[in-house]
Chains A and B, each alone.
Chain A
Amino acid sequence: MFEQLTEKIETVFRGLTSRGRLSEDNIKGALKEVRRALLSADVNFKVTKEFIARVQERAVGRDVLESITPGQQFIKIIHDELVDLLGGLAPNIELPHKTPTNIMLVGLQGSGKTTSAGKLARFFAKRQFKPILVACDIHRPAAARQLEIVANNAGYPSIMFEEGEKPSEVARRAQFEARQFGCDLAIHDTAGRLHIDRDMMAEARELYDEINPDLVLLVLDAMTGQEAVSVGEAFTSELGVDGFLLTKLDGDARGGAALSLRQVTGKPVLFVGVGEKLDALERFHPDRMAGRILGMGDVVTLVEKAEQTFDEKRAKELEKKLRKQTFDFNDFRDQLKQLKNMGPIDDILAMIPGMKKSMLKGIQVDDGATKRIEAIINSMTPSERAKPGSIDGSRRKRIARGSGTSVQEVNRLLKQFFEMQKMFKKMGRIKKFAMPPGFGL
């Protein structure tokens, strides 16, 4: 998610820590790099400026210059400011149980509202709600149909608009029909609109006034540039947005918008979308995200994900194996299925502390290819799995035949596996940041 930013700030810190005591000058140099990194991450220009000014004020003071380990103190200041900027502790999402409770999704075109509607339904269905999806997008061709399919696939009912109906009228009807379906959570999907389009904003306002929603979410593409702030401001002031849902964070977007939105609107980022599947929606954790930005990885999310998929014992075993570098093909196969359930493997790897994007280069983990990989591993003998180094040319040929793959594929898997082992070794060598007591995850 934020790997590149992490990398850049890490570079800054490496320079800093190796120089020992800080001077006013090298703080400035470091800040310049931090500023550049933030701007490259699409953090808003003004937000970046304020952030840098705040950090500078605190860094140039005695906190840093008089401390014994100035580099660490500097990291702490950046970290604290980032947590602050991201909104402090993760807010709880407490929705009242009404008949029905109303969620309204708003945003620009193509931000991912319809897809997110399905994901939110799944999210709240796991939390004792009975969701129904309401198609209030009367503008985009086949948008309602898309929502209907999303709802069907997820197993939730949906309400379509009828010819000539206004979005507010669909929503009004939904208040009664939701009950008929036995549902208590109506998720209203609206048309994408520009924040400067007065007519369309008025239409959304009319819908808002009709249902007086319990939660208004602005759905925003994580790849959004400097515009994020004006979009966030306009929707928040005109439609009472309660929080943000940041989509498409499974790509390589650095998502600087997450930093800016909170700062400028005072509203929290509540959810992040991390894939096209229904369960690819996560709570946004500002504190963890700041840790991630600073290169401390996102261990908490990793463990949480693992817990959802594995039982606790297995999760611990995996972590131990990864750390102790005794990870062999037996483990690889055992974990492969469960790893698949956790999401794209490179995403998982990216959450491990000390892992950087550059380390992942050359290790392409293609989720679609996992079946073939399993077949290859299944064709190995137990001793080959335990000692992959013993697999020579003729063994490779046999394995390829047995698994119905080619020698090239076997070679590729072995190569990737060895690179992975190498990488884990590298990780083991990376010293953890020496953090002041009480600081860190």
Chain B
Amino acid sequence: MALDKLKKALGKTRSILNTRVEDLFVPGKTLEEEDLELLEEALIVADVGVEATENIIEHLKVAAREQKIPPGGPLAILETEIRKMVDEYEDPAPWRPTEKPHVILLVGVNGTGKTTTAGKLAKYINDKGGKSLLAASDTFRAAANEQLAIWSERSGADIVRSVDGADPASVAFDAVSKAISGGYDAVIVDTAGRLHTKVNLMEELKKIARVCGKKLPGAPHDIFLVLDATTGNNGINQARLFEEVIGITGIILTKLDSTAKGGIALAIMRELNIPVRLVGVGEKIDDLIEFDSASFAAGLFED
């Protein structure tokens, strides 16, 4: 589904390398070294990462030796793996009406699309019948607050604004307070982009989360790492450090409408057990869709 939307949105013509990769794994066929090299290239080029690629290839070698390659070939294996990861979580819904208000923190490095995603996520929740509130906790980047205000207009979600340089935690606190008293279903906290290696900035993030929990025990209910699909191997470092510092409950993979495959998300899912929840596929407000493991796996092998 995601891919259909992608293709339509951009009118891209993609030749499917897919069949070629699948042909390699006909039951009974012995795997040649060059077959595996072809698959390795496909995975590396999709940014799946060296380590994950090596693991997958190893996995396939074993499966081939034991004649356990399923009819769908490597694609089916990958998809099963991804699905396992996603299903491990009891309730993968990005927004749950059972939490009122459901507090969501958006975190990530600079330029991944947090503010845009915040606007789209507000619309996504409103479309599902919720009433969402945006919190402009990015008080560092110039005009981030104004940018989010425009998304608030577009999505019809209310916003707790801030001024540049204000304390981001206090903005989040105000938003959670307002959500409780105003009967909102969800609070989406947009935070400033920060490199995962900057210790003090990561500490600031902890404080934002802590303050949310102070106002509302259990909050934030979700902390989503917003990850740019064009990111390479560094994506794993990002996910690992954000996970270590504040704990990530899911990934929102943005800019999948580019030719990037976002394969590093697969490596993150495998290595850190963090599922992808939502996918950004364009700049319009409705361009945020639920993650679909089948089309994601298929997309990895498309050219």
Q: Chain A contact residues (Cβ within 8 angstroms of B): what range? A: 35 or more
B237: which A residues are within 8 A, CB to CB?
252
For residues 164 through 218 of chain B, which have their beta carbon under 8 Å from a beta carbon of chain A? 164, 195-200
For residues 101 through 158 of chain B, which have their beta carbon under 8 Å from a beta carbon of chain A? 109-113, 140-144, 146-147, 149-151
A225: which B residues are within 8 A, CB to CB?
47, 230-233, 235, 260, 263-264
A194 x B257 contact (CB < 8 A): yes
A112 x B110 contact (CB < 8 A): yes
B233 x A41 contact (CB < 8 A): yes
**CB of A366, distance to nearest CB on chain B (Å):** 5
Complex-state Cα separation, A42 to B260, whole angstroms: 13
B197 x A251 contact (CB < 8 A): yes
Closest to B49 in A: A40
Closest to B204 in A: A368
B231 x A196 contact (CB < 8 A): no
For residues 28 through 52 of chain B, which have their beta carbon under 8 Å from a beta carbon of chain A? 41, 44-47, 49-51
**CB of B45, distance to nearest CB on chain A (Å):** 5
A196 x B12 contact (CB < 8 A): yes
**CB of B278, distance to nearest CB on chain A (Å):** 17
Closest to B195 in A: A251
For residues 413 through 434 of chain A, which have their beta carbon under 8 Å from a beta carbon of chain B? none
For residues 202 through 226 of chain A, which have their beta carbon under 8 Å from a beta carbon of chain B? 221, 223-226
A109 x B113 contact (CB < 8 A): yes
B283 x A139 contact (CB < 8 A): yes
Partner of B200, one of A146, A251, A254, A369: A369
Most A CB within 10 A of own CB, among B10, B113, B260:
B260
A111 x B233 contact (CB < 8 A): no
Closest to A191 in B: B283
Partner of B143, one of A111, A112, A142: A142
Is B287 in contact with chain A by the CB < 8 A criterion? Answer: no
**Given A252-B197, A369-B200, are A227 and B143 also a contact pair (CB < 8 Å)?**
no
Is B55 in contact with chain A by the CB < 8 A criterion? Answer: no
Q: How many inter-chain residue pairs (CB < 8 Å) link A and B?
A: 142
Is B259 in contact with chain A by the CB < 8 A criterion? Answer: yes
**CB of B118, distance to nearest CB on chain A (Å):** 12
Closest to A344 in B: B198
Partner of A141, one of B111, B146, B259, B264: B146
Is A39 in contact with chain B by the CB < 8 A criterion? Answer: yes
Complex-state Cα separation, A225 to B44, whole angstroms: 10
B196: which A residues are within 8 A, CB to CB?
251-252
A224: which B residues are within 8 A, CB to CB?
230-232
Interface majority SS (helix, strand, loop, mixed), chain A:
loop
For A359-377 the 0/1 string (1 means CB < 8 A from B) is 0000010111100000000
Is A166 in contact with chain B by the CB < 8 A criterion? Answer: no
Closest to A107 in B: B111
Partner of A223, one of B109, B143, B147: B109
For residues 122 through 175 of chain A, which have their beta carbon under 8 Å from a beta carbon of chain B? 139-143, 145-146, 148-150, 153
Closest to A346 in B: B197
A112 x B259 contact (CB < 8 A): no
Is B19 in contact with chain A by the CB < 8 A criterion? Answer: no
**CB of A184, distance to nearest CB on chain B (Å):** 25
A230 x B259 contact (CB < 8 A): yes
Partner of A227, one of B142, B147, B259: B259
B150 x A226 contact (CB < 8 A): no
A257: which B residues are within 8 A, CB to CB?
232
Complex-state Cα separation, A248 to B151, whole angstroms: 26
A146 x B142 contact (CB < 8 A): yes
Complex-state Cα separation, A42 to B257, whole angstroms: 20
**CB of A112, distance to nearest CB on chain B (Å):** 6
Is B80 in contact with chain A by the CB < 8 A criterion? Answer: no
Is A29 in contact with chain B by the CB < 8 A criterion? Answer: no
Complex-state Cα separation, A142 to B150, whole angstroms: 8
B197 x A150 contact (CB < 8 A): no
**CB of B25, distance to nearest CB on chain A (Å):** 21
Most B CB within 10 A of own CB, among A145, A194, A227, A276:
A227
For A27-45 the 0/1 string (1 means CB < 8 A from B) is 0000000001001111001
Is A60 in contact with chain B by the CB < 8 A criterion? Answer: no
* 30 A-B pairs (CB sep. < 8 Å): A40-B49, A110-B111, A110-B255, A112-B110, A112-B111, A140-B147, A141-B147, A142-B143, A142-B146, A145-B143, A146-B147, A149-B143, A221-B111, A221-B231, A225-B47, A226-B45, A226-B46, A228-B230, A228-B232, A230-B259, A247-B111, A248-B109, A248-B110, A251-B109, A251-B197, A252-B195, A252-B196, A252-B197, A368-B200, A369-B200
Q: A111-B111, A225-B231, A256-B232 are in contact. List 16 more A-B contacts (CB 8 A).
A: A36-B50, A149-B164, A194-B10, A194-B255, A221-B228, A223-B232, A225-B230, A225-B235, A227-B258, A227-B260, A231-B230, A247-B111, A252-B234, A252-B237, A276-B140, A366-B199
* 10 closest cross-chain pairs (CB), A and B: A225-B232, A110-B111, A42-B232, A149-B142, A141-B150, A142-B147, A146-B143, A225-B47, A251-B195, A142-B146
Instruction: Give me the interface of A with B, judged by CB distance under 8 Å.
Output: 36, 39-42, 45, 108-112, 139-143, 145-146, 148-150, 153, 194-197, 221, 223-228, 230-231, 247-248, 250-254, 256-257, 276, 344, 364, 366-369
